[in-house]
Each structure stands twice: as structure tokens, then as C-alpha cells.
A and B are shown apart, each in its own frame.
Chain A
Amino acid sequence: MNPQTEAQASPSGATEQVTELYAAHATGLVRLAMLVLAEQAAAEDVVQDAFLGLYRRWHALSDPGKALAYLRSSVLNGCRDALRKQSRRPPAALLAPDAESAEARVLLGEEHREVIRALRRLPGRQREAVILRYCLALPEGEVASAMNVSRGTVKSASHRGLAALARLLKEDQ
């Protein structure tokens, strides 16, 4: 069944298909957002917004097969917005110091928080390329679709990002 046609014919078609996509990909997308935001609540907010955006635009989606790339792209956009907001607030939950932190119960180990802190210091494009390519092990083509850039840009951004990340982590030690 063509999801686009069904969505136009029946709003519930969009509901079902977006819900199915959510069941299949929400966890992976939250993982992506958590790598950027270091906070599950914020990550889930971003992912929910991405799915709501998809739901609203379902009828305009030219190729439903591209929905996942659209969602990844939306999540990255949402993360950028959230990072801007976070920069005006106290540190994100998973980066909070252990002592007296209300999040100490479910925290990343210090070595992992170092990695996330370093990721957050990378320029946006490099950070996204490194996360998608090396943390989530996506093929270059999918990374390029999610970032709306060419494969060449993915290669250069991920290469530079990785080098910068190594430098930052070395500095921290």
C-alpha cells in the first residue's frame, strides 16, 4: 500500500504509519539525540517533535521511503536548537557532576562523559558526522542524507571531526 495515498485518503493512515515508524526507530533516534544532548528527556522531546513534524507533513512527503532520513535530519535540527537552549542553562543531566546530582543514579561513567563533552565542543557539522558515522555506524550515504550534504562533505567532516575529537580527549587527560 502506498502510504502517501493512504495518508491523503485517511488521516488515520498517517497515524498508523507514523506510529509504526516510531515503534521501529524511536529508540535509535533517541540514542542519536542523547549522544548530542546527553539527556534522555530532552532527547525524547526532540524525537517526539520530529515525529510530529513528520505526521503533519506526511501528505507532502514525496517518498515515504525517505521518512527515516527526514526524521534523522529533523532530530539533528532539533538537537541544534536544544543545544542552543542548553548553552544558556546548567549542564545537561548526564554531564552533571556525580556529587549531589539528582541524576547520579543513572549516569554515564566519567570516561563516557568525557567523550560526550568533547563531542559537544566540535563544530556542529563535524559532531553530527562523527556521531552518525562512527557512533551509529551508518553508511556514508545515509549520513549524507540525514545531514543534507554530499558524501564528500561527510568524509571530510567526519575525518576532521575524528581528529579534533582525539585532540580534545588528549587535552582533557
Chain B
Amino acid sequence: MTIHDRLRATTQEIDEIMYPVRPLALPPAGAPARLRGARAPRALPSWVMPFAAAAAIVAVAVSLVAVRALPGAPQRGTSPSAAPPAAALAGLPRYAVLLKPQGGGPWVTVMVQGPTQASVLESLPTQTLTYAVLADTRTGKTLTTVRPPSGYTFTGVTGAGNGRAFVLDATQRKLAGGRPPTHIWFELTPRGTPRRLPAPVLSGYVDGIAVSPDGATLAVSYLPGALSGSVITLATYSLGTGRLLRTWTGPKRPYFVAGGDASVRLSWLADGRTLAYQGVADFRTVYLLDTTKPGDTLPGTSRAVFTTPVNATYSAGEPLVASDGQAVWLAVGLRPLSVSTYSTATGKLLHVMYSARMLASVLWAESATTAIAAVYDRAGAPARGTEIGVVTQGKFTPLHLPLAPQGIANSYGFSTIAF
């Protein structure tokens, strides 16, 4: 093979592994344009962190930040051209919350590629101001649009999966002196009124959140200090009182290794006491953590229930444990890509549920039979870009959620849609 051939082959290979490029985020008309790539400075020495964290907390306390709905909320939303059949939606979450950049249409960044880039964690809060949109999954209508408090932007959302509660992660936007950002939390109920949650004011780099099915407990995975060299921490908080309930720490090694990437996907099982996570110790393996059992390390208190088959050409979203704990949903393969279910008891393939042309990511799953997924260019249909819909055996029923035309974008681990 000549050197020319090798260069062409490498270029072709890059074409093959590239995901759709994320939408362009231009500043809103009239606003001063600012380069998005402005990075937070490097972290300060570790001894500064406690002072920095204290200062951030004080700053938050005195700023009396308040979340407010946009004027006129709940707003009239976009009316979808055709609502999905009611039968296909039976038993599915009635509401979804999507994050959207200011001045743009809601777009979705889901667990498409998986790994979280350290640089993304650093730059996320400095990017475009992000709003939260509460939508009705049956009609596709926007019910409310919520803007973050001054000085903050929404960087993540999690839902209880049953319409009871959504929790929004509001992240401090300006990171002075390389400090980790401060996070404050808001609850958004289907009534559409956001409420500042009593806890926790957390300083660190958050890369996974999950609210329990009863809406009472928030699980957060985060790096408490600098990105480099920190050990991942998982914590649970009472949303009623703000009290820290439990903490577990990850393996005693730097979280960001091998290229600066890692990822955590957190979800609660329906029992309300078991947390499923993936990406802390081994990105291919899904673990279950019984939050009622003693122990304060993730490796010591978790059990592995599923490992992505080594021969799977793994191209899309993270595995997601169905809330009944019986099955794992996973998208594997490249062109076409299969959305499949695996047994958590045996690790064996149960069913190939659906195929998409390019990529897919499972967003919500209650059992081995039904899930909500984002797919890009569904097979057998005209190219429509990204769609979110209900996946059952061999069938995809689109939900007409208010997505921008670009729809989906790479997120490297961040979920900006929740049910």
C-alpha cells in the first residue's frame, strides 16, 4: 500500500467513525458575539479549593438567585402535525424536559458517543445560555420554558420517569480562577413551576445525575476538585431537606485517563433503592449499587450485571438498565445499528428491537419490551435526521417533541432530555 493509499484509507476511516456534527451555536441576534471556545483557566492549587468553594457558596447565598418562567409561561407551544397513536403511548412518560440553547430551537444531546471529554466538562457552563423546555410527549406541545437563574446555565436534566418530577442542574457560568463550578438544583413539576431545591450547593464537575422514582432523592456523580487526578464521587441527597444521605468514591485512580475521557450514566431502578451506573470503573460494564447497604466505595459495594460484548462494534449510546432491572438496552453496530435488549441475569441477547441507519441512543426504558430512544435516520424511512420515539419489537413510533431541525448532537455523555 502506498503512502497515498494509507492517507486516503485513514481519511475514509475517519469518515466512517464520525458522528453527525453538532448544530452551530451562534449567539442570539443583538447579543455581542463571543467565541465559544474560551476555556476556563487551569485549576488552582488544591489548597485554594476549600476557600474557593466557600466563596462560591457565599456568593450563591447572597445572590438570591431565582428561577423564573419566561413571561407568559406556560407558553403556547408548537403544534405537531400529527400526534402519535394513543395506544403506542400507553404507560409511557407523559412529560419530557429538553434543554435548549437561548435563541435556538430545542435540540437534544443524548448519550450518543458516551465518553465525557474533560474539556467538555470544563467548557460546558461557558457555552450558550441554556433554557429548559417542558413538553407533553403525547401532543408534542411546549408547556413551559424556564430560564436559568442569573449567572447560571442549565447543563443537565433528569426525570423520575413517571412525570412526578424533573431535576435541573444549574451550573455557574463564569468560572473564576479555574475553580470548579457551583451547581444548584431546581425541581420542575408537570405544573410547570420551577422550585429551587434546598440542596445541595455542590462545587465540582458533575457528569451524571438521576432523580429517584419517588422524586425524593437525587444521585449525583461528580469530581469534587480539579478535573485531573480527581476520583469520581457518587452522592445521594434528600430533595426534601437537602441533606447529604450517602457518598461512595470510585476506584482510586484518576477519573480522566486514556485521552481524558470517561463517562457515567446514572439511573434508578423502580425499587427506589438501587442505582444503576456505568462508566465509573469500566465503561463497558453496568453496575448496580444497593444504596441501603453499608460501604463507601463503589467497587466494594456494587455488582456487575452486564458487560458489553467485546465483539460488539460499539458505536452509540451507553447501555441503559430498564427500571425493572431485568434487561439492559443497548445500541450496537455501525450502519445499520441495532437497538437490542440483553438479560441482566445472563448477559445474553434477548431481542434485536430495532435498527437505525446510523446511530441511536436509548433514553428511557421500563422493561425489556418498550423504550424511548433517539434514532438518526431510521431504516426503511426517508432520511429525517434525528427522531425520538417509542421502540417496541421491530417498530418505531415517533414522538413529536419540539426538536430543532438539527435534532441531535454529540454530547459526549451529557443528557439534555429526560422523561
Asked whether A68 is an interface residue with its Cβ less than 8 Å from the other chain, the reply is: no
A164 to chain B, nearest CB (A): 10
The reply to whether the CB of B10 lies closer than 8 angstroms to some CB of chain A is yes
The reply to whether A31 and B259 form a contact with Cβ atoms under 8 Å apart is no
Q: How far is the CA of A7 from the CA of B25 in the complex (A)?
A: 18
CA distance A23 to B381 in the complex (A): 22
Whether A90 contacts B258 by the Cβ 8 Å rule is yes
The answer to whether B17 and A106 touch across the interface, beta carbons within 8 angstroms, is: yes
Closest to B259 in A: A96
Check: B29 CB closer than 8 A to any chain A CB: yes
- Shortest A74–chain B CB gap in Å is 11
- A residues less than 8 Å from B7 (CB atoms): 115, 130, 134-135, 165
Q: Please give the distance in Å from A129's CB to the nearest CB on chain B.
A: 12
Q: Is the C-beta of A108 less than 8 angstroms from some C-beta in chain B?
A: yes
Q: Which of A107, A135, A165 contacts B11 (CB 8 A)?
A: A135
Identity of the chain B residue whose Cβ is nearest the Cβ of A130 in the assembled complex: B7
Which residues of chain A (92-124) have a CB below 8 Å from chain B?
A: 92-97, 100-109, 111-112, 115-116
Report yes or no: B21 in contact with A89, Cβ–Cβ below 8 A.
no
Residue-wise, chain B 22-55 has the 8 Å CB interface mask toward A (1 for contact) of 1011110110011111000000000000000000
B112-120, B156-164, B169-177, B188-196 - interface stretch = B112-120
Residues of A within 8 A of B11 (CB): 31, 35, 135-136
Q: Is the CB of B33 within 8 A of A102?
A: no
Interface 9-mer from B260-268, B290-298, B348-356: B260-268
**A9 sits at the interface (CB 8 A):** no
The answer to whether residues A40 and B119 also contact, given A103-B259, A109-B13, A162-B3 and a CB cut-off of 8 A, is no
Interface status of B315 (Cβ within 8 A of chain A) = yes
Q: Contact check, A115 vs B10: say whether CB atoms are below 8 A apart.
A: yes
Closest CB in chain B relative to A100 CB, distance in Å: 6
Contacts A95-B259, A102-B262, A108-B13 given; indicate if A48 touches B6 (C-beta within 8 A).
no
Q: Using an 8 Å CB-CB cutoff, how does the interface string of A46-64 with B read, 1 for contact, 0 for none? A: 1111011101100000000
| Overall SS of chain A's interface | helix
Task: Give Cα distance in the complex from A145 to B283, angstroms.
Answer: 43
A15 within 8 A of B: yes
Query: Is A140 engaged at the interface, CB distance under 8 Å to the other chain?
Result: no
Q: Which of A3-56 contact B (CB under 8 A)?
A: 11-12, 15, 18-19, 22, 26-27, 30-31, 34-35, 39-42, 44-49, 51-53, 55-56
Q: How far is the CB of A156 from chain B (nearest CB, A)?
A: 17
For the complex, what is the distance from the CA of A104 to the CA of B120, rounded to whole Å? Answer: 19
Distance to closest chain B CB from A102 (angstroms): 4
Q: Are B22 and A44 in contact (CB under 8 A)?
A: yes
Contacts of A166 in B (CB 8 A): 3
User: Is B21 a contact of A30 with CB atoms below 8 Å?
Assistant: yes
In the complex, how many angstroms separate the beta carbon of A1 from the nearest chain B beta carbon? 18
Residues of chain A contacted by B412 (CB below 8 angstroms): 41
CA distance A55 to B25 in the complex (A): 11
Does residue B9 face the partner (Cβ distance < 8 Å to A)? Answer: yes
> B8 within 8 Å of A by Cβ?
yes
Residues of B within 8 A of A92 (CB): 259
Interface membership of A169, Cβ < 8 A: yes
Asked whether any CB of chain B lies closer than 8 Å to the CB of A152, the reply is no
- Give the docked Cα–Cα distance between A107 and B261 (Å): 13
Nearest B-chain residue to A170, judged by Cβ: B3
A18 vs B6: C-alpha distance when bound (angstroms): 34
Asked whether, in the complex, the Cβ of B259 is within 8 Å of the Cβ of A39, the reply is yes
Q: Are B24 and A103 in contact (CB under 8 A)?
A: no
A44 to B409 Cα, complex, angstroms: 11
- One digit per residue, 1 when the CB lies within 8 angstroms of any chain A CB and 0 when it does not, for chain B 198-229 equals 00000000000000000000000000000000
A56 to B26, CA, bound (A): 10
* Residues in B395-414 with C-beta less than 8 Å from chain A: 410, 412
Contact A12-B29, Cβ < 8 Å, known A93-B259, A102-B258: yes
Cβ of B257 under 8 Å from chain A: yes
Q: How far is the CA of A148 from the CA of B33 in the complex (A)?
A: 26
Given contacts A35-B10, A108-B17, A130-B7, contact A91 B26 (CB under 8 A): no
B29 contacts A15, CB within 8 Å? yes
User: Are the C-beta atoms of A49 and B35 separated by less than 8 Å?
Assistant: yes
6 sample A-B contacts, Cβ–Cβ < 8 Å, listed by A number: A27-B21, A41-B120, A45-B37, A48-B25, A100-B257, A112-B9
Known A96-B258, A103-B259, A109-B13; 8 more pairs at CB < 8 Å: A11-B30, A15-B26, A22-B24, A48-B37, A52-B27, A93-B117, A134-B8, A136-B11
Binding site for A on B (CB under 8 A): 3-4, 6-11, 13-15, 17-19, 21-22, 24-27, 29-30, 33-37, 113-115, 117, 119-120, 123, 256-263, 279, 282-284, 308, 314-315, 410, 412
The 6 A-B residue pairs whose C-beta atoms are closest, nearest first, are A105-B314, A96-B259, A49-B37, A101-B258, A22-B24, A112-B10
